[in-house]
Amino acid sequence: MDKALLIQLGGSIAAVALLVAFAAWMGVARATPPLDAEAARALVALEFPDHKPDAVWIAADGAGVIAREGDLALVLYRRGDSYVARDLPWSVIAGLKPTNGRLPVRLGDARPVFAVNDDVWPPKELA
């Protein structure tokens, strides 16, 4: 091997290592703070701009929101470092039964679990 080939190989290794380190750094999820009433309403308004919910319920751990607008449920749940928004019929949400402080929701593409304070569902805010 001559000197030029070794320099090129060393430069390539350094560039690949730098790209791998940058990709790893970019993939680190930032902490998402728990939702409070104001943040939950702002998030619902952002994700569902055409809807005006009658009531908003925040999960006990602040990691999700279920809002009700008539016969429609607006569901937001934490996924990674952001939130995912889905809507579904209210009858699906009203028919759920929490167990051990957890409310599992079956969506078409995911199964988020909401923390509840007690096993009474739906809460009086949404009923």
Q: Is the same domain home to 18 and 71?
A: no
Residues 23 and 58 in one domain: no
Does 102 share its domain with 50? Answer: yes
Structural domain count of the chain: 2
Q: Are residues 65 and 103 in the same domain?
A: yes
pLDDT tens across the length of the chain (127 residues):
689 899 999 999 999 999 999 888 877 767 788 999 999 999 999 999 999 999 999 999 999 999 999 999 999 999 888 899 999 999 999 999 998 989 999 988 889 999 998 878 888 878 7
pLDDT at residue 57, as a whole number? 94
| Range(s) of the domain holding residue 50 | 37-115
- Can you give the pLDDT at residue 115? 92
Q: What is the pTM of this model?
A: 0.75
Same domain, 21 and 3: yes
Kindly report the backbone phi and psi dihedral angles of residue 78, in degrees, each rounded to the nearest multiple of 5, phi listed first: -75, 135
Within this chain, do residues 1 and 56 fall inside the same structural domain, yes or no?
no
pLDDT confidence of residue 122? 87
